[in-house]
Every structure is written in C-alpha cells, then in structure tokens.
Structure 1
Amino acid sequence: MNVGAKVALAVAAALCVAGSTGVLVHRITAADQLATARSDLDQELRSAAADLTDGRESRARIDPADLPGPVARAVRDDVRVTYLQDGGEHAVLWAASRVSDRRVLAVSRPYTPEEQALASLDRTLLVTGVVATVLVSLAGLLLGVRMGRRATAAARTAERIADGDLDARVRPDGRDEIARLAASVNAMADALGARLEAERRVTADIAHELRTPVAGMSTAVGLLPPGRASELVAGSVRKLRGLVEDVLEVARLDSQVAAVDTEQREVSAMTRRAVAGLDDARVQVRVMADAVVATDPRRVERILANLAANALRHGAPPVEVAADGPVVRVRDHGPGFPPDLLAVLHTSGPQRFRTGSRTGGTGLGLTIATGQARLLGARLTFRNHPDGGAEAELRLPTG
C-alpha cells in the first residue's frame, strides 16, 4: 500500500469519526431540548394548578377531549406526567396531573420550535460536514500525492544510483522523514562515488606501474634460449600483459575519457573480423541478415571478441556467433550462466574479477564488453538459451 492510499485511509477514518460526532451531537441536543421543554411545561402545569386553586384563569384545561391515552392512563396513579405526542411536523408536548378524583388538569403546546431548531442544527452539521469532508479530502489527497511523489522520486534516484548513475541526486524538500531519506540517499551516493573513484584510481595506478616491468619482461623473454621453459615464461608474460591491458581499458572506461570514432560499417564484416583470431573449428559465424550501422568498428570487434573468448573459456564448443541485422548473438553449448551470476548481470551488470566459473580467468571480459557497449550506445544483455548454453546479445544502435 503506497503513501497516498494510507493517507486516504486516515482521512476516511477521520471523516467516520466526524460523522459519529455529528450523530452524537444530534442525539444529545435532542435529549437536552426535550428535557428542557418537559421541565418548562411541568412548571407551567404547577402554576396552572395554583391558579385553579385560587380561582384565576390559566391556559390549562380540565379533562381535555384530545388528551392522549397514555397520559390519561398515567395520571390515574396521582402523578404529574409529561408526554411528547409524536405527530411528525405537528408534535405536541403534554403535561397533566389529577386535581380531584375524576378531573385531570392538562396543558399542552406545540413542539414545533424544538423540532425546527433540531432540523436547523442537522442542516448546519450536514453542511459543515460536507464542507469539511471536501476540504479534508482535498488536503489529504494533495498531501498524499506530494508525499508519494517525493518518496517515488527518492526511490527512482536510488534505483538510478544502483544502476551506476552516481551523479543522480534527490532534492531535499522540507524537514520531515522523506527529506531525511533524500539526504541519506544523497550521502550514500556521495560515499559510494568516493569509494568507487578511489578503487578506480588505485586500479589505474597499479596497471600503469605494471606496464613498464611487463614490457621489460616481454623484451627479456625474447632473449631466452628456445625451450620448454622459455615457452612457459613467454605464455605467462603474454597473459600478464593481456591482464594489464584489460585493467587499463577498464580504467579508461571508468574515467570516461575514451573517444568513439564513428564509421559506416557492415555488421557481418565486423563480426567476421572479431573472431578471425579464434579457432575456426570451435567458433561458427552465421549471417542471417546484414545491416550497415554507424559505430566504432574497433570497439564493436573488441566486444564480440571478448564475448566469443569468454564463451570458449567458460562454456563449451561450438560457439555460435550469429549476425541478424544490427543484432549479434554469441552462444556456447556449455552449462550456461550460474543463477547467481545471471541475477547480477541482470541488475548491476558484470562485476570485475568475477567469472562465475571454476576454470579460471580474470573476469574482465564481460566488464570491458559492457563498458564498450555503453560507450557506443548499444545494448548488451545476457541469458541462458532455452536449448542450453549461455547467450549474449549485442544490439547496435541504428539511428
């Protein structure tokens, strides 16, 4: 239940209380009016009895023909009686008492003034209630909508931050709990941005510092005598050099200093060039439909090469690379993405140095591919194919 619905329920509860209060006021007022009228008429009856004893005229009547039956029966016990004869708009209030064994002294008056006063009170309560209902409902609706919008804005900003937009901020408004929530989201984004920036700076500095010794090692390997040991050292140096280059590429993507050189290229040609250095027997290229797109061919080929190499390393051959217009799909026939890794890929994207596989690797291939795709304005998605195996889909922009 959202904030607006909760505010609406609170307003409805308040209106129910107000309605109950109006009914209670009506009943208390009616009872008080009747008690006052009974007391006044009873006082008038006693005055009339005294006037009758002294021989003075009064408004009271002896044995009136229209005396209500309940009054006539009640006065037989020698008690004074007040009785409201309900006649709708012509209600009459009676007061009666026995003045001898057979005679009844009674006085009556219309109860219309009290009925009219009560009806006027009811109209006032109704009008006041309707006006209050409208005003309170509008105020509650506006308050609920405003609170809902502020909470929704804070939630959307938090989602943008979770998606990687560390520049997103919530504008604090007021001093209530939602304003505190907005300030907390902003503080979280600042802290997260500072932490990520520190990690990126350390990663870039380490990679830069490693370039010189790795280059020296590559030169020294060429001076070693041929042999099995030399081949092992050369292979390790190549892997180390590739790792350093990958880390530097990630640092450049993180710092957003990479430039895009846009050209008109065929998707099929870029796809073939991307996998040209891989094992032809284990990688199959299919072109179902071709398209010409304006993009940076070097970065597209780097994305596809990383996806194909990742499929060969962590999946099982054959690896199928299918070009279908501006869409290229890379699929292997292995066990597919682990569920926990697939959940991370769908939410926050690839995490560097995490492969989700026990076969080794640095875990930078998907990170670089995702960063390059974001730089090109392309869309890179991951899933497990219904027929088995992991599948990555690169959708290039056509505009």
Structure 2
Amino acid sequence: MRGKLALSVAAVGALVAAVIGVLVHDQTSATQLDTARRDLDAGLLAAVADYERMIDGGVLVNPPDLPDALRDAIETQPVRATFLDRAGEDPVLWAALRERPAAAPPADGVTTSGGGSAEGPATVLAVRQSYLPQTEALGALNRTLWGAGLIATGLGSLLGLLLATVGGRRIAGSARTAQRIAQGDLAARVRPRGRDEIARMAAAVNTMADALQVRLEAERRITADIAHELRTPVAGLVTAAELLPPGRPTELVRDRARTLRRLVEDVLEVARLDTAGVEQAEFECCRTSGLARQAVAACADQLPEAAGGEAITLTVVADAEVRTDPRRVARVLANLLSNALRHGGVPVELEVDGTVLRVRDHGPGFPAELLAQGPQRFRTAARERGRGTGLGLTIVAGQARLLGARVHRANPATGGAVTELRLPDGSDCARPNAASGPDAPPGGVAAAGRPGRVPRPATGPPPGVAPPRP
C-alpha cells in the first residue's frame, strides 16, 4: 500500500509539473517571439526612413536569401511582415516590406499608353537578426523546468511515502489489534487518532471488540454456571455408580459417570482460566526430565484403554532446569499425551530437548483449521482424529499462558502431528543444579538421549495432577 500511494502521489506530481512546464514554455516562447517581432518591425521602419534619406541604416535591398514565405506575403498584400526562419543552422528573424517608388516623369514628347505615367520596379526592403539568443534562453528555461519537475516529483514521492507510512502504520496497528482480538485477547483496543477514515475504522474495531467481549463473557458465565450447578449432582451420580453391584453394565455406567465428571471439571477449569486473576501459577525450579516422567506416568495410568497395550516412548535428548509450576506443566503434558493417544496414532513419543518438550504421534495430523486458528472449545479436530470436546487443547493454551510458555503445533512431512511446549529457562534459579519433583528414571526409561518404554504404573497420577482431557 505504501508503494502504491507513493507512486500515485509521484505520478500526480509529475503530471502537474509537466502541465505547468508546457504552459510556461508555450507562454514564454510566444512572448519572446512577439517582443522580437515588434522590436524588429520598429527597426525596419527606422531603416526604411534612413534609406529614404539616403542613409545606410542597415536595410537590405532586395535580399536574395529572403524566405519565400515572407516574399509571398509582402507581394500579395501591401503590408509589413515578419517571419522566423528556422531552416538554417541558426534561427533568423526577418522583417520586410515592398516599396513602390513614385512614377518617373516622362521624357519630352513621350507619352505613356493610356495617358498614364510609368512606374519604377518595386523594391523589397528587409532587416534581419539572429534569433539564437532567444532560442538559447528558451532552452535554459526548459532545462530549469525539467529540473523543477524532477525535484517536485521526488518531493511528491517522499511526501507520498511519508503519508503512506503514517497511514500504513495506523492501519497495521488496527489490523494487529484485530488479530489479537481474534486470538482471544479481548482486552486489546485500538487508539483512534484524528477524525479521518482510519480513526473511524479504529473506533469500529473497538466497538466490535466491546460487543464481542460482552457476548463471550455472557456465554462463558452461563457455561460456568451450568457446570457449577451440575457439579454436585454429577458427584452424587458417580458415588451412586460406585454402589452398584459388579458387572458389565455397572462398569459402563461408572465409565460414563466419570467421563461426565471430567467434562464438568474441564469446563470449570476453562472458566477459571478465562477469568483474570483467578488462577495463579506457583513457580519453582525443576528439571524438565522429571516433569516429562511425571506426565507419562499420569497419562499411562489414566488412559489404559487408549494406549491399546502400547507404552509411551520417552526420550531425553538434553535435560534442563526451568522455573515453572510443575503441577500445571504436568497437566499440560498429560493433556497433550492423552490427546495424541486418543486422536493420533501409536507410538506416541515424548522428547525432552532442554526447555522444549515435544509430543509426537503417528496419526493423520492436525487439521488445517486447528493449525490456522488454534484450539477452540467444544470444537474437536477432524473426524479422522476421533471425537472429543475440544477442551483439552484449550486448557493447554490457558495453562501455557499462565506459565509464560509457548505452544507450537505442526504436521511434519513424515506424517503425524507434533506439539512443542517451550518453557522459560531457569536462569534465575538459586540452585542451578537442584531439581524438584521425581527425577530418578522409573523402570524401563532409558538414560538421556536413549529412548525407552514406560510401562503403566500400578498407582494413580501424582498428587495435584488432574485427569487429562483431549
């Protein structure tokens, strides 16, 4: 846009400069020629007067190089005429008249036919002067006009670029704010400046954001209220299901009741994450390898049916110390692993590479809509990746935001889906070599850089780790 606007202003400036230059050139040329004609005509009259008084005033009598056009003009009409001859190397301005002398007196005893008197031959009197000074002056004016036009075009281009830059920055700022709003930052607003169209567009973006925020807040509040109201009866339903006699129908009822309870808990967690100031992270120094093992143990215990008899592969390429909330990191990793087990394809790989924790499956990959827009609640992935509520990845995004971490999703060329969790480093930890959380490798986990199989533990998830959701 900036280039187009600058080119437009430059083109308009060049056009205006060209029009003004042509007008100035034509007017100056006409004025020069008229002035030179008048001066030369006055000189012709003075030279003719001197000629009649037999004084050499510089008049040319019957000049042989008189232009034919000028000769024809003075022969057809008894007038004085001027003519600019550009045929030669240098332009020459001519002024001429045709003088008919008085009739000579007849000789003694000689009469003219018809009783008249005989006239002498007509005489052409002319003066000329070089028109080269005027031509050179006009050429200098043309060069000046060209220079002024180029300067005006350059200044116009700079002015257009400046205006386009200022306007482009304002539009780009509005676009960035709109993008932040689309990504979920409902507090983002544009600062309108001035009263032009861009300011009105910025005000419209703010109005749209206000309306969107009010509507989303109402929807979130209703969802949280419904989940809160369902929490007590669902807890009673789970308790009642535990009292049923053993059997296949009882197991189905218990499984569905637990699923409903997890759904209610996930909705409440999303509501808390959406409310500023409700959730607070408790940071401490810990090792990324310990966080990974903790999450693998929780996921393997919570989703035995999804693993289908396959364990999760854990690879520690490089261990690192980070300052984060171990409970929330375990929650994020457990959701990513369960999402990969439920919707991707085995084997599921968890790789620890310093402060980067990478989860990969071998399924159909993330849908393009998820990669472009990010996770959205109650909107699951593509049909080929299975069914779900879409809350698991939403919780991942919210927890990562609290931790100051970054989540990146991609579909590698070799297939499957990869999610990277990049944690802040632990450079401010008081004890660089200290680690919190379980750091000793469990049975079956290989040393750093060497993959191993993690069997399902006999115990449940570590304390503080909520059940994962896809």
TM-score bracket, normalised by the shorter chain, equals 0.7 to 0.9
Q: Return the alpha-carbon distance in structure 2 between the equivalents of residues 73 and 398 of structure 1.
A: 97
Tell me the CA shift for residue 163 of structure 1.
Answer: 2.5
2:437 aligned residue: none
Alignment of 1:183-202 (within 5 A): 183-202=203-222
2:172 aligned residue: 152
Tell me the CA shift for residue 142 of structure 1.
Answer: 2.7
Q: Return the alpha-carbon distance in structure 2 between the equivalents of residues 197 and 394 of structure 1.
A: 28
Q: Which runs of 5+ in 2 are unaligned?
A: 101-120, 427-470
**Equivalent position amino acid for 1:344 in 2:** E
**Equivalent position amino acid for 2:350 in 1:** V
**Equivalent position amino acid for 1:350 in 2:** P
Q: Structure 2 vs 1, CA of residues 35 and 297 (structure 1 numbering), >3 Å: closer, same or farther?
A: same
Q: Return the alpha-carbon distance in structure 2 between the equivalents of residues 88 and 179 of structure 1.
A: 65
Q: What are the superposed Cα offsets for residues 198-227 of structure 1, whole Å, 9 maximum, x if unpaired?
A: 121111111111111112212222333333
1:78 aligned residue: 75
Alignment of 1:1-399 (within 5 A): 2-35=1-34, 37-38=36-37, 41-42=40-41, 45=44, 61=59, 63=61, 68-70=65-67, 74=71, 78-79=75-76, 80-84=80-84, 93-100=93-100, 101=121, 103-108=123-128, 118=138, 125=145, 129=149, 132-133=152-153, 136-256=156-276, 257-277=278-298, 278=300, 279=304, 281-284=309-312, 285-337=314-366, 341=367, 343-358=368-383, 359-399=386-426
Q: Which runs of 5+ in 1 are unaligned?
A: none
Q: Return the alpha-carbon distance in structure 1 between the equivalents of residues 69 and 397 of structure 2.
A: 100
Tell me the CA shift for residue 268 of structure 1.
Answer: 1.7
Moved more, 16-25 or 126-135: 126-135
Q: Return the alpha-carbon distance in structure 2 between the equivalents of residues 73 and 12 of structure 1.
A: 44
Tell me the CA shift for residue 48 of structure 1.
Answer: 6.8
Give the structure with higher Rg (CA).
2
Moved more, 97-106 or 168-177: 97-106
Give the % identical residues. Answer: 56
Q: Is the 8 A contact 1:328 1:393 kept in 2?
A: yes
Tell me the CA shift for residue 4 of structure 1.
Answer: 4.5
Moved more, 270-279 or 242-251: 270-279
Q: Is the 8 A contact 2:350 2:357 kept in 1?
A: yes
Q: Is the 8 A contact 1:317 1:334 kept in 2?
A: yes
Q: What are the superposed Cα offsets for residues 119-143 of structure 1, whole Å, 9 maximum, x if unpaired?
A: 7865775676566456544433332
Tell me the CA shift for residue 108 of structure 1.
Answer: 4.2
Q: Return the alpha-carbon distance in structure 2 between the equivalents of residues 226 and 76 of structure 1.
A: 130
Q: Return the alpha-carbon distance in structure 1 between the equivalents of residues 265 and 348 of structure 2.
A: 25
Q: Is the 8 A contact 2:70 2:81 kept in 1?
A: no
Q: Return the alpha-carbon distance in structure 2 between the equivalents of residues 245 and 10 of structure 1.
A: 60
Q: Return the alpha-carbon distance in structure 2 between the equivalents of residues 314 and 295 of structure 1.
A: 28
Q: What are the superposed Cα offsets for residues 142-183 of structure 1, whole Å, 9 maximum, x if unpaired?
A: 322211221222222222222222222221122222112211
**Equivalent position amino acid for 2:94 in 1:** W
**Equivalent position amino acid for 1:78 in 2:** E
Q: Is the 8 A contact 1:45 1:60 kept in 2?
A: no
